[in-house]
Structure 1
Amino acid sequence: MSVNLQINNFWIERNERQLCRDLSFSVSDGELVRIAGDNGAGKSSLIKAILGWIPIEEGLIRLNGEDITHNRDLLLFDQIYLGHTPGIKSILSVNENLRMYCPNASEVALNEALQQVNLELFDDTPAAQLSAGQKRRVALARLWLTKKRIWFLDEPFTALDAHGVAALEAKIQSQLESGGAVVITTHQPLYHLSPKTVELTP
């Protein structure tokens, strides 16, 4: 299935502050779109508005030509979102956290995902005992398990070491080469990726 996501004339306000107005861009097969802007510019809010989690004042969103402005079900069905926080349960083990998000994944697939993020020795470790970087890598392991076509990654490089950054960049490149699409916010330089940039300015 192809990916063609069009954002047309988005206008977003939060707490009586205008974050963007008449913002338009598209995301297509094999394309990486980087949302850029200063801290507080509204990058995270823009992603959440696209997904329908916060309201827009005006605008239109189409997925493969279909107007989904008032019903994001088609988009939500075929996307994965990773936010600022890892979104994992501290009382669960690393393996249990992945199983919660990916209940149909095989043990082989789970083990391979953990190997990709260098956590294969921590599969039975409670998440509460992990460092911030390890918790981030648990969340990112979901990318090795998903078949979703559109990824929304909000500051995914936070708390990652050089090896983690390289592994994630390689996985993003693999997603693009397979025909998927990625929308990302990051302050991390993308040395091995070539994004299309959407700039949010005050």
Structure 2
Amino acid sequence: MEHTNPAELAVVDLACGRDDRLLFSGLSFGLRPGQVLLLEGSNGSGKTTLLRTLCGFREADEGEIRWCGQLLEESSYYADMAYVGHAEGIKKELTVLENLRFALALSQPGHYGIDEALQKVQLAGYDDNPVHTLSAGQKRRLSLARLLITHNILWILDEPFTSLDRQGIDLIETLIDAHVKQGGMVILTSHHDLSLHHIGLQRIHLDSCL
């Protein structure tokens, strides 16, 4: 579906609760190509709940979310968005290569082919390895390769640095930086101090959104 308006995510007066407890309310923000939004807050402040709401996994209690000026269900949002959460979204019974081919069959091709993406995330040579034999860090790298081979303007990442060493953290920051410079958009949560030097970094602290 072609965009009728420039790519932009607009969140207006959003409120979400859990177990009869209000997590945040009156939350409004916008995100355009070339920008990164870092969600901060204490445990239980609603960071993962917000990401799941943005992904359409749950409904907000109040407010609305628009993509390219349209409500999500009326837009190309779900084709333009990719999510990587605590569960990496990969099938453990398949091999590395089979997982990436499966992801590519469901999406439009991205900037990288499978071989190049595996090189980028330092999984070259693991093509035929079943995912259940990979370490936690390698599974996280595979989920990132999935982002590289598919075309998604908006990346939504929940604690993407989990289970990664310093080299893996630097790799993700490099991939995020490249994605944004190519006109992409990123929303993420992290307890890690980011080393992103472009000017498009925004921060929202959910503890202040009550």
Paired position in structure 1 for 2:167: 163
- 1:5-33 Cα distance to aligned partner (Å, 9 max, x none): 11000010111111111111111110000
Question: Are 1:125 and 2:132 counterparts?
Answer: no
Deviation of 1:80 after TM superposition, in Å, equals 0.6
Distance in 1, Cα, partners of 2:86 & 2:7: 25
Given the alignment, which residue of 84, 87, 93 partners 1:85? 87
User: What's the C-alpha RMSD, in Å, of the aligned pairs?
Assistant: 1.9
Percent of matched pairs sharing the same residue = 37
What is the Cα deviation at residue 72 of structure 1?
6.1
Q: Aligned letter for 2:120?
A: Q
Q: Name the aligned partner's letter for residue 131 of structure 2.
A: A
Q: Which amino acid aligns with 2:43?
A: N
Aligned pairs, number: 199
Structure 2 CA distance for aligned equivalents of residues 15 and 64 of structure 1: 32
The correspondence of residues 183-202 of structure 1 with structure 2, limited to 5 A, is 183-193=187-197, 195-201=201-207
For residues 72 and 154 of structure 1, the distance between their equivalents in structure 2, rounded to whole angstroms, comes to 25
Residue ranges of structure 1 left out of the alignment (5+ in a row) = none
Name the SS of the counterpart of 1:138 in structure 2: helix
Alpha-carbon displacement from aligned partner over 1:135-184 (angstroms, at most 9, x marks no partner) = 11111111221221111111111111222111111111111111111111
Kindly indicate whether residue 48 of structure 2 is the aligned counterpart of residue 44 of structure 1: yes
Structure 2 residue runs of 5 or longer lacking an equivalent are: none
Structure 1 residue runs of 4 or more that deviate by more than 6 Å after TM superposition: none
Aligned partner of 2:140: which letter?
A: R
> 2: CA distance between counterparts of 1:136 and 1:92?
15
TM-score, normalised with respect to structure 1: 0.91
TM-score between both structures, scaled by the size of structure 2: 0.88
Among candidates 71, 75, 78, match of residue 77 of structure 2: 75
Q: Secondary structure at the match of 1:175?
A: helix
1:125 maps to a residue whose letter is N
CA distance in 2, matches of 1:189, 1:168: 13
Equivalent AA in structure 2 for residue 53 of structure 1: F
Corresponding residue number in structure 2 for 1:5: 9
Query: Offset of 1:193 from its aligned partner?
Result: 3.9
- Decide whether the 8 Å contact of 1:3 with 1:180 is kept in 2: no
Q: Which amino acid aligns with 1:197?
A: R
Mapped to 2, the partners of 1:151 and 1:3 lie a distance apart of 13
CA deviations 1:27-73 (Å, max 9, x no partner) are: 111000011111121111101112221111110222222233xx265
Amino acid at match of 1:47: L
Taking the aligned partners of 1:61 and 1:94, their CA distance within structure 2 comes to 34
Q: What aligned pairs does 1:76-155 form with structure 2 within 5 A after superposition?
A: 76-103=78-105, 109-155=113-159
Structure 1 CA distance for aligned equivalents of residues 24 and 104 of structure 2: 35
Verify the 8 A CA contact 1:51 1:75 in the aligned structure 2. no
The equivalent residue for 1:56 is 60
* Residue matched to 2:182: 178
